[in-house]
Amino acid sequence: MRNVTRREFAVLATTAVMGPPAFAQTPALLARPIPGSGERLPAVGLGTAQVFDINDEITRRKAAAVLQALIANGGRLVDTSSVYGDAEMVLGDVIASAGSRDSLFIATKLESPDAAELKRSLRRLKLDKIDLLQFHNVRDPRQSLAQFKDWKEQGICRYVGITSTRHEQYAAIEAVLLREKPDFVQIDYSLDDREAEKRILPAAAEVKAGVLTALPFGRARLFRAVRGEELPSWARGFADSWAQFFLKYLLADPRVTAVIPGTADARHMADNAGAMRGPLPDPDQRRQMAEFADAL
Ligand SMILES: NC(=O)c1ccc[n+]([C@@H]2O[C@H](COP(=O)([O-])OP(=O)(O)OC[C@H]3O[C@@H](n4cnc5c(N)ncnc54)[C@H](OP(=O)(O)O)[C@@H]3O)[C@@H](O)[C@H]2O)c1
């Protein structure tokens, strides 16, 4: 069998995620099907760790602007957790005030399969149903998702998932992923930390789990590494900013369903959402990007 050319790869990758191109000039938005259902999810979302920790007026105003920027730029996914300070409360207040619930795909995480913790998260988010409920920081290969699946059966959540951002927990994540076959796995994956490519992305593909990439900028480590540097000329065809350069590396892997960069800045949200537009790097360009990151 002959190798696929760069151009053919670009067309295949685009067609696989967005369907056949309608009009070449229409700037299509990158959305990927959730493997378990086929529901399409815009490929850039919002992470909320550390950015909305305190439920005060200033934070609520920032969160409202960021969520507005997410929605205005075609995004839907918001990822939070029961342990991100007051973030669930901030989101609950802001989403209720804006009446934006139906425009969003809301994901949260629980520390354990505990009904009291779930009830608290739903109360704080002002929701009776959540889109995605994730088991936070899976660290034991024997951890069961039975309770989470039961909540899904009851209609309390539409999808279940597991998360981790620690390499030493990858064996546990892989084992739970393969055995429990959740709808999603959320894993740390960035241009300068590609460990997830070795075992987590292949395992996710095997069990048809969607992949959300936590820490896509390595907690801003990537921005610090390129501070003062211009975007390379060879990247100008697919990225308008460093943020889009970093995110498009991840999105060019068709196994990635969505990236969830964290931000408290509406302009950064709009910039990040720009990674859903325009071409993705092809395999040669991705290799060049990885070499670039390795040399930083
Ligand atoms: N175990 C787990 O399940 C786990 C663990 C960690 C994280 N997560 C999830 O992953 C999400 C992402 O991780 P993270 O927020 O810690 O780190 P990150 O997304 O890798 O980086 C966030 C940092 O990048 C900056 N930033 C964002 N967009 C930018 C832009 N366009 N230009 C310049 N700077 C930009 C942000 O600052 P500004 O606020 O100034 O934009 C912030 O300092 C979390 O929010 C959380 O939802 C999950």
Lowest mean pLDDT among 2-16, 196-210, 263-277: 2-16
- pLDDT, residue 18, reads 41
In angstroms, the CA 83 to CA 134 distance is: 13
Q: What is the dihedral of CA 247, 251, 252, 253, to 10 degrees?
A: 130
pLDDT band at 155 (very low <50, low <70, confident <90, very high): very high
- pLDDT, residue 22, reads 42
Ligand 1 atom having least distance to the Cα of 49: 45
Residue 4 has pLDDT above 90, yes or no: no
pTM for the whole structure: 0.91
Please name the residue whose Cα sits nearest to atom 47 of ligand 1: 47
Q: Please name the residues in contact with 37: beta carbons below 8 A apart, sequence gap of 6 or more.
A: 159, 183
How far, in Å, from the CA of 84 to the mean position of ligand 1? 13
Burial call 254-264: b when 16+ CB within 10 Å, e when fewer: ebbbbbbbbbb
Q: Tell me the best of 265, 267, 271 to mutate to test the pocket of ligand 1, counting ligand atoms within 8 Å of each CB and taking the most.
A: 265
- pLDDT, residue 53, reads 95
In angstroms, the CA 238 to CA 232 distance is: 11
How far, in Å, from the CA of 24 to the mean position of ligand 1? 33
pLDDT band at 27 (very low <50, low <70, confident <90, very high): low
Please name the residue whose Cα sits nearest to atom 41 of ligand 1: 263
Taking phi over 0 as left and psi of -120 to 50 as alpha, with beta for the rest, 206 belongs to alpha
Beta-bridge partners for 116 = none
Residue 2 has pLDDT above 80, yes or no: no
Length of the chain equals 296
Please state, in angstroms and as integers, the Cα–Cα distance from residue 88 to each residue in 20, 70, 129, following that order.
38, 17, 14
How far, in Å, from the CA of 221 to the mean position of ligand 1? 10
Residue 16 has pLDDT above 70, yes or no: no
